[in-house]
Amino acid sequence: MDAIRDRTLVGSSDLDLDAVKRPSREEAMEAVRTLIAWAGDDPRREGVIDTPKRVVDAYGEWFAGYTLDPAKELSRTFEDVQGYDDIVMLREIEVESHCEHHMAPFLGKAYVAYMPTNRVVGISKLAKVVEIFAKRLQTQETMTQQIADAITDSLRPAGVAVLIDANHQCMSTRGVHHRHVSTITTQFTGVFKTDPTLRQRFLDFANKK
């Protein structure tokens, strides 16, 4: 892939992503060697000589979301719902992501629901959409919005609800060094936004032990 081309990123309309040339694997490894040296270590030392390769491999896994399309995951839907007209919800979806400000991990859980109209999607696809956006650099706020938008655009449901609860290592391991602090973000659309009773049901389900 010669250039990073991702049209699904929210807030990227002012960037010419086609002009961003993706470095080669060797260039990426050389960048890691530079960071090792900047940290004060010798990148030729036995203990870290293979670190650039491992870091690049890890980045390929952590940021695989740039090569995946959430709309494609949500494209196969089922219209035979036999009259079902209530919440479809997934609880405690694992979130493993990295903040765009420090590239530090943030880890937590996502709770995603939608109110179907005339079609539903395989439940694993909702978890896959969370994973796709998590495997990119962004803020938790942006990711929450992206998940809601992707489900809304593909399924056209009566409403979408998303809650993410995560711990940010850019806050716990640097800066203010406050541990055990979680960040909660929410996004409600359609009936989840206009109907407080329905919204509360979602929150009750999310808090259910």
Give the residue extent of every domain in the chain: 17-62, 69-207
∠41-46-50 over CA atoms, to 5°? 90
Is 99 tagged catalytic? yes
pLDDT at 3 (0 to 100): 43
Cβ contacts of residue 205 below 8 Å, gap of 6+?
87, 89, 91, 111, 113
pLDDT digits (tens, 9 = 90+) for 132-162: 999 999 999 999 999 999 999 999 999 999 9
Residue found by looking up tokens 């991990």 in the block: 105
Is 140 tagged catalytic? yes
Average pLDDT over residues 43-61: 96
pLDDT at 82 (0 to 100): 73
Q: Residues 98, 131, 138, 140: which is the catalytic one?
A: 140
Residue found by looking up tokens 């491999």 in the block: 57
| Range name among 40-54, 112-126, 190-204 with the lowest pLDDT average | 112-126
∠176-181-182 over CA atoms, to 5°? 125
Nearest by Cα to 73 from 123, 109, 26: 123
Residue 17 has pLDDT above 70, yes or no: no
Type of residue found at 30: E
Q: Residues 98, 99, 131, 138: which is the catalytic one?
A: 99
Determine the angle formed by the axes of helices 51-62 and 25-39, rounding to 10 degrees.
120
Percent of the chain with pLDDT over 90: 75
The domain made up of 17-62 is a member of CATH 1.10.286: yes
Is 187 tagged catalytic? no
pLDDT at 18 (0 to 100): 61
pLDDT band (50, 70, 90) for residue 5: very low
Whole-number average pLDDT of the chain: 89
Q: Residues 98, 138, 145, 168: which is the catalytic one?
A: 168
Average pLDDT over residues 58-71: 95
The CATH number given to 69-207 is 3.30.1130.10
Is 170 tagged catalytic? yes
Nearest by Cα to 206 from 122, 108, 129, 105: 108
Is 102 tagged catalytic? yes
